[in-house]
Structure 1
């Protein structure tokens, strides 16, 4: 089998099979163990040491080059301007459908990046915290559109990411609870001048519509230094979503505080029908209309096959 990267001239991406990508690890050291992976992996998103060695260590090595180059450019700009300013964090976006494994990817990358020899400070923020509270969504008749772009407090998210990129101290972000399915009132996480920020969410690479008044408006994606898109075929995403829902029915949904507790109290068939309905009416339309169209904006596309293994890597050409 030819392990060379598959380069298609009309494409802005160089495409690598798993074996070809794995070779790009070079001498990048393994800094995680099996216990770390157990802690970092999400429900129904298995990951093993082979996946880290063959896929994530080459990504870590690539990002090391990108971050170093950006830091050098920043220092050169400061010398040109003749003054020194606060460091600006490097922002990595992790985007993709529900159930594709964004949370696991973001956590594994954070752990690897934070263990570079220079021990950079790496923070992870999910855009779930910027969803409008359920009370607002209900009032605006948007509960059935949760996860769609209009269900987010976009202005708050823009203020957050612009403050981060401005190098401000102690920038706060709201916290979201998947247990109660809502933003936690009064709870915040504070980001204080990290070296790297990983921003994980469904729509972080989206540009949105141009304003009708013609005025230029920034988008969250304008502040991203490197975008990663987790990709998989629709039938796999569908299966993973339903499988995860049914697993949660036997675990987290049984918590008395769970928003979805009602699905743990109905028959298995009724719960399965509800999972199928949620996929067909909310998650699949959101994937097709809002999430997948952002894929071409990514710098790195990780295509998953069966068992959540990444079988193909596409890296944007420079």
Structure 2
């Protein structure tokens, strides 16, 4: 049975258009400053106060319903078992293609959720930090497969999530540098039992088992979101971002991609298009897009990069 856009009646999702969705917020009376928006914005990805208020305020309100249910269930079950254990983090997974804007979604959601009543502590972890270091990828001859399932230390990622859901007081997470295109050797992110944990990455909903068991990253999620867009739009965004990076970050001599800094625009676009066609498109089609309907909620963007509609899994 198809779950596509033309089969809404039999779909496990309810389709909500943007105009209807933005009316659903009944919780937030907060106002964001333009500086807040600027700090959350990514390169070549427009973000406005209206986008945050129309899309992310209602989303945070919806998530708060699930968070409160989660906390109530914890209290009832531990009371029933007479085991009053500490409350564990509510874990949100955010998936989507390279260049789809999932990192911005994660940052905005972290900001907005931290504004909920009670001001919860919200941590954000990206699965880029769980990529194998380049020297391991080189040894395995899969550096050009970075981002594919086999390029991640899935066992470490699962250990981290297991620790969070087991009440471990803290966990050191590796940090990835997009400038160096590698894991940083002398830097880690310490996660100390947040109220809400957001885990963002292209691989978070995948079920490709690289650990020899049937435990998946998404098994630890309490809610999951997929950031969606038409493939042609994502490709255009990727190429435009590559060209912007060539004129900015790639100019840094410490950048892994500094060798592309002196390319002219035409050569840059050709290079980005080749990378998309040879690496990112196959990964999207083979590993990322098939996970879309495993999410609890799908944010569908239009060509302008703003959310056009939302699909919410029926309950």
Q: What TM-score does the superposition give when structure 1 sets the normalisation length?
A: 0.95
**Counterparts of 1:290 and 1:304 in 2: how far apart (Å)?**
20
* 1:23 aligned counterpart, secondary structure: coil
CA offset at residue 30 of structure 1? 2.8
Aligned to 2:3: none
Q: Verify: 1:124 aligned to 2:124, yes or no.
A: yes
Is the CA contact 1:173–1:188 (under 8 Å) kept in the aligned structure 2? yes
* 1:25 aligned counterpart, secondary structure: coil
Is the CA contact 1:30–1:57 (under 8 Å) kept in the aligned structure 2? no
Is the CA contact 2:149–2:210 (under 8 Å) kept in the aligned structure 1? no
Is the CA contact 2:92–2:225 (under 8 Å) kept in the aligned structure 1? yes
Aligned to 1:294: 291
Aligned to 2:206: 206
State how many pairs are aligned. 310
Q: Deviation digits for residues 188-241 of structure 1, max 9, x if unmatched? A: 111111000000000101112498xxx852110100111000000011000000
Q: 5 Å matches for 1:166-181?
A: 166-181=166-181
Which stretch of structure 1 is more off in the superposition, 288-297 or 258-267? 258-267
Q: What TM-score does the superposition give when structure 2 sets the normalisation length?
A: 0.95
Structure 2 residue corresponding to 1:305, chosen from 293, 302, 307? 302
CA offset at residue 26 of structure 1? 2.3
Q: Verify: 1:263 aligned to 2:260, yes or no.
A: yes
Is the CA contact 1:88–1:166 (under 8 Å) kept in the aligned structure 2? yes
Aligned to 1:104: 104
Aligned to 1:3: none
Q: Verify: 1:315 aligned to 2:312, yes or no.
A: yes
CA offset at residue 267 of structure 1? 2.5
Q: Verify: 1:274 aligned to 2:267, yes or no.
A: no
Structure 2 residue corresponding to 1:230, chosen from 227, 231, 252? 227
Q: Verify: 1:52 aligned to 2:78, yes or no.
A: no
**Counterparts of 1:279 and 1:137 in 2: how far apart (Å)?**
20
* 1:24 aligned counterpart, secondary structure: coil
Q: Deviation digits for residues 279-299 of structure 1, max 9, x if unmatched? A: 000000000000001101100
Is the CA contact 1:179–1:257 (under 8 Å) kept in the aligned structure 2? yes
Gaps of 5+ in 2: 1-5
Alpha-carbon RMSD: 1.5
CA offset at residue 32 of structure 1? 2.1
Change (3 A) 1:254 1:224: same
Structure 1 ranges of 4+ moved more than 4 A: none
Q: 5 Å matches for 1:74-223?
A: 74-209=74-209, 216-223=213-220
* 1:30 aligned counterpart, secondary structure: coil
Gaps of 5+ in 1: 1-5
Which stretch of structure 1 is more off in the superposition, 262-271 or 170-179? 262-271
Is the CA contact 1:94–1:199 (under 8 Å) kept in the aligned structure 2? yes
Is the CA contact 1:32–1:112 (under 8 Å) kept in the aligned structure 2? no
* 1:303 aligned counterpart, secondary structure: strand
Q: Deviation digits for residues 236-267 of structure 1, max 9, x if unmatched? A: 00000000000001111111100001111222
**Counterparts of 2:213 and 2:262 in 1: how far apart (Å)?**
50
Is the CA contact 1:7–1:14 (under 8 Å) kept in the aligned structure 2? no
**Counterparts of 1:237 and 1:9 in 2: how far apart (Å)?**
27
**Counterparts of 1:79 and 1:204 in 2: how far apart (Å)?**
32
Aligned to 2:244: 247
**Counterparts of 2:177 and 2:264 in 1: how far apart (Å)?**
25
Aligned to 1:66: 66
